[in-house]
């Protein structure tokens, strides 16, 4: 006897299963990243396993720093059935280049902040090298 597949999920159950906030689920529906689920006669949304999987995909992509527009593009490749590994790789490499640029920017910011903080005595005096550096 196989494992029983869970039945349709209400929004709160979808949130629990996917680890996604209810308001975020509403937002993803509103912007079209999450397909509109069927409704009961009384108007309750009923989500399926494909909604759980899609939400997990979106959340994981967000954790990796992909923008909503990039995620929409990846989902579009998947939804249209036209995806190729080459398409996904190209998008991923562009994102990786962007991440590396942001890391370099953060390292530069870290150096400047460390140097500026080092110049500050921390004393209770009106002159502050940090504020002076930010003003210049």
Residue 31 covered by a domain = yes
Q: What is the C-alpha separation between 46 and 52, in angstroms, rounded?
A: 12
How high is the pLDDT of residue 78? Answer: 73
Same-domain pairing of 69 and 23? yes
Long-range pairs of 66-70 with CB within 8 A, sequence gap ≥ 24: 66/95, 68/31, 68/33, 70/95
82-129 pLDDT tens trace: 767 888 889 899 999 999 999 999 999 999 889 888 887 777 777 777
32-48 pLDDT tens trace: 999 989 998 998 899 99
Any idea what the CATH number is for the domain that residue 48 is in? 1.10.1660.10
How high is the pLDDT of residue 128? Answer: 79
Residue 53 covered by a domain = yes
Same-domain pairing of 12 and 53? yes
46-90 pLDDT tens trace: 999 999 999 999 999 999 999 999 999 888 887 766 767 888 889
Instruction: Please indicate, yes or no, whether the overall pTM of this predicted structure exceeds 0.85.
Output: no
Same-domain pairing of 11 and 45? yes
């Amino acid at each position: 006897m196989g494992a029983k597949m869970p039945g349709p999920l209400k929004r709160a159950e979808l949130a629990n299963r996917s680890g996604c906030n209810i308001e975020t689920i509403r937002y993803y529906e509103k912007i079209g990243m999450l397909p509109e689920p069927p409704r009961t006669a009384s108007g309750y949304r009923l989500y399926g396993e494909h909604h759980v999987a899609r939400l997990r995909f979106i959340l994981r992509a967000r954790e990796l720093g992909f923008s909503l527009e990039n995620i929409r593009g990846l989902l579009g490749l998947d939804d249209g059935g036209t995806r190729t590994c080459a398409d996904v790789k190209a998008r991923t490499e562009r994102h990786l280049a962007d991440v590396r640029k942001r890391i370099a920017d953060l390292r530069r910011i870290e150096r400047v902040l460390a140097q500026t903080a080092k110049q500050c005595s921390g004393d209770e005096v009106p002159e502050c090298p940090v504020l002076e550096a930010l003003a210049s």
